[in-house]
Amino acid sequence: MKQNLFIALEGIDGSGKSTQIKLLEQKLTNAGHKVYATFEPTDGMIGSVLRNILRGYIKADHRTIAGLFLADRLDHLLNEETGLVKKLQDGYTVITDRYYFSSYAYHATHMDMDWVIAANKLCADILKPTITLFIDVSPETSMQRINANRAGTELFENIESLRAVREKYFEAFTKLKTEERIFIANGDRTIEAIANELWEKVSGIL
Ligand code: ADP
């Protein structure tokens, strides 16, 4: 039986998370793993509300958004049919596009990070990632990619917000460096170079 992992991909918008998840999924599958790739906000009930907020269709205070993300994450973990706790019990290696470090970085641009970390302890007590892979791109690169590939932009998708979010990610990594396993990859390189580095890191844990 293969050791199954829980891998979280993190980075600012457009950093290449979903691109890398597809490649990592292939490599893990080739290595004999059953892989479940997933994302936050989820496509469940609470995640749908969050998407509507991020796209600007519903207005909400940042504290409300933080609370909804927490609720969505708990459902992502605990849902009886699709929850990650169950997927891991069933032997899947789980890769998630965003987990609680996204909350620490994004919400902390508007509120106290320690509150966000304390609230998300509910999730950390249930499942900590085996490893968090952070793809670090400059906000300029990220904005270029977002503008080249999408018709509209979401909340946070502007250069000032992305700069602030990137800084908050690093603040969170420093705060939690003894409790979490974090790997930072330089994302301003080719897709293949990043994929190879991430695979080296992940296969080193297997
Ligand atoms: P995210 O999931 O983090 O928002 P994506 O994986 O969707 O980011 O990537 C955003 C865009 O940038 C996509 O069009 C993707 O093809 C492109 N992209 C991803 N990684 C790289 C890279 N290393 N170099 C150049 N373009 C990239």
Model pLDDT for residues 41-74, shown as the tens digit of each residue: 999 999 999 999 999 999 999 999 999 999 999 9
- The structure's pTM equals 0.97
- 18 falls within a domain: yes
Average pLDDT over residues 91-99: 98
Give the CATH number for residue 96.
3.40.50.300
Q: Is the pLDDT of residue 193 over 60?
A: yes
Kindly report the three-state secondary structure assignment for every residue of 134-201: EEECCHHHHHHHHHHHCCCCCCCCCHHHHHHHHHHHHHHHHHCCCCCCEEEEECCCCHHHHHHHHHHH
Residue 152 has pLDDT above 90, yes or no: no
| Residues 69-96, mean pLDDT to the nearest whole number | 97
User: What is the pLDDT confidence band of residue 173, given thresholds at 50, 70 and 90?
Assistant: very high
Residue 188 lies in a domain: yes
Tell me the average pLDDT of the chain: 96
Confidence of residue 1 (pLDDT cuts 50, 70, 90): low
* Closest atom, ligand 1, to C-alpha of 13: 4
Say how many domains are in the chain. Answer: 1
In angstroms, what is the span from residue 97 Cα to ligand 1's centroid? 13
In a 3-state reduction of DSSP, which class is residue 96?
strand
Of 99-103, 118-122, 143-147, minimum mean pLDDT range: 143-147
71 φ, ψ (degrees, to nearest 5): -65, -40
Q: How confident is the model at residue 3 (pLDDT cuts 50, 70, 90)?
A: confident
Query: So what's the pLDDT on residue 151?
Result: 76
Which distant-in-sequence residues (6+ apart) come within 8 Å of 96 by Cβ?
A: 6, 7, 8, 9, 37, 38, 39, 40, 76, 84, 129
pLDDT band for 149, please (50, 70, 90 cuts). confident
72 Cβ contact partners less than 8 Å away, ≥ 6 residues apart = 40, 41, 42, 44, 46, 47, 50
Q: Which amino acid is at 172?
A: A
- What is the position in ligand 1's atom list of the atom closest to the CA of 190? 23
Mean pLDDT of all residues in 144-171: 91
For residue 186, what are the contacts with CB-CB under 8 A and spacing of at least 6? 136, 194
The two structure tokens encoding residue 105:
């970085």
Question: So what's the pLDDT on residue 9?
Answer: 98
Q: Which residues line ligand 1 (CB under 6 A)?
A: 11, 13-19, 145, 149, 190-191, 194
User: Would you say residue 1 lies in a domain?
Assistant: no
Give the domain range for residue 119. Answer: 6-205
Q: Which of 25, 133, 145 to mutate to test the pocket of ligand 1 (most atoms within 8 A of CB)?
A: 145
pLDDT of 34 reads: 97
Distance 20 CA to ligand 1 centre (A): 8
